[in-house]
């Protein structure tokens, strides 16, 4: 590679974008063996007031049918947005060492629709929630003004009851989860001083079980 300028190259190793995604995520996770926090991602929705509205959420793995999962609250703006118009864009940004040991920047975007998961799937995700997330789900009225000290006192009371075994932190009515069903997966890789390469997988309109894949310009 010329150190002044070159073009990154993504090798297409699979017909299946989910497999491609999983391979990239695995490379990322292997490069960060002590990583304890999940990778935050970004999800954009349509909002009547703001137009496009995006925010950070945690990536919660793949559903059994291999779709990206996120969890949220039914009183959040994103929930209302998705209920009105399920079209969303999800973006991952990952830094992964390339074969030369340099840091390559990866962006993975999915254009698709968010579909609420079944009660059983939502319940399984609740069971994996951290203690703080379970308490938040019960006490936070998403986006509304708060009196900090009052909220802290409520939090501490619930936490103490949990620690004493008096409160099992049952699933709240507001907790929910979505999968993102994409029509396009867009993978972008940029090595240092390189123009990026992109691979797009687009749903084959004549056969929804297939993907058409191509390099596209950065």
CB of 23 to ligand FMN, least distance (A): 24
- Name which of 70 and 199 has its Cβ closer to ligand FMN: 70
CB of 27 to ligand FMN, least distance (A): 22
With CB under 6 A as the rule, give the number of residues binding ligand FMN: 15
Q: How many CA atoms lie within 13 A of 210 on its CB side?
A: 6
Distance CA 189, CA 141 (A): 39
Stretch that binds ligand FMN, among 54-62, 101-109, 120-128, 171-179 (CB under 6 A): 54-62
Candidate residues 5, 56, 164, 206; the one interacting with ligand FMN per rule CB under 6 A: 56
Distance CA 179, CA 77 (A): 17
Name the helix (H) or strand (E) containing 77.
Answer: helix 77-84
Beta strands (DSSP E) in the chain are 6-7, 40-47, 51-58, 68-73, 87-97, 103-116, 175-190, 194-195, 197-203, 211-216
136 binds ligand FMN (CB under 6 A): no
Stretch that binds ligand FMN, among 48-56, 92-100, 151-159, 210-218 (CB under 6 A): 48-56
The answer to whether 110 and 180 have CB atoms below 8 angstroms apart is yes
Candidate residues 8, 21, 63, 72; the one interacting with ligand FMN per rule CB under 6 A: 72
142 binds ligand FMN (CB under 6 A): yes
Which positions touch ligand FMN (CB under 6 A)?
40, 53, 55-58, 70-73, 76-78, 142-143
């Amino acid at each position: 590679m010329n150190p002044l300028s070159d073009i990154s190259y993504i090798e297409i190793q699979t017909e299946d974008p989910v497999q491609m995604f999983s391979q990239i995520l695995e490379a990322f996770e292997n490069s960060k063996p002590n990583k304890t926090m999940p990778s935050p991602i970004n999800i954009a929705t349509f909002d009547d007031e703001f137009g496009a509205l995006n925010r950070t959420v945690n990536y919660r793995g793949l559903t059994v049918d291999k779709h990206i999962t996120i969890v949220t609250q039914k009183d959040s703006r994103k929930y209302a947005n998705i209920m009105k118009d399920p079209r969303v864009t999800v973006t991952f940004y990952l830094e992964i060492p390339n074969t030369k040991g340099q840091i390559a920047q990866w962006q993975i975007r999915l254009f698709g629709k968010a579909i609420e998961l079944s009660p059983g799937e939502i319940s399984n995700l609740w069971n994996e929630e951290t203690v703080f997330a379970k308490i938040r789900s019960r006490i936070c009225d998403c986006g509304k003004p708060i009196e900090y000290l009052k909220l802290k006192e409520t939090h501490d009371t619930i936490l103490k009851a949990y620690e004493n075994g008096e409160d099992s932190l049952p699933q709240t009515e507001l907790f929910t989860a979505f999968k993102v069903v994409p029509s396009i997966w867009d993978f972008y890789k940029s090595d240092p001083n390189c123009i990026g390469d992109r691979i797009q997988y687009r749903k084959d309109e004549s056969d929804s079980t297939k993907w058409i894949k191509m390099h596209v310009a950065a």
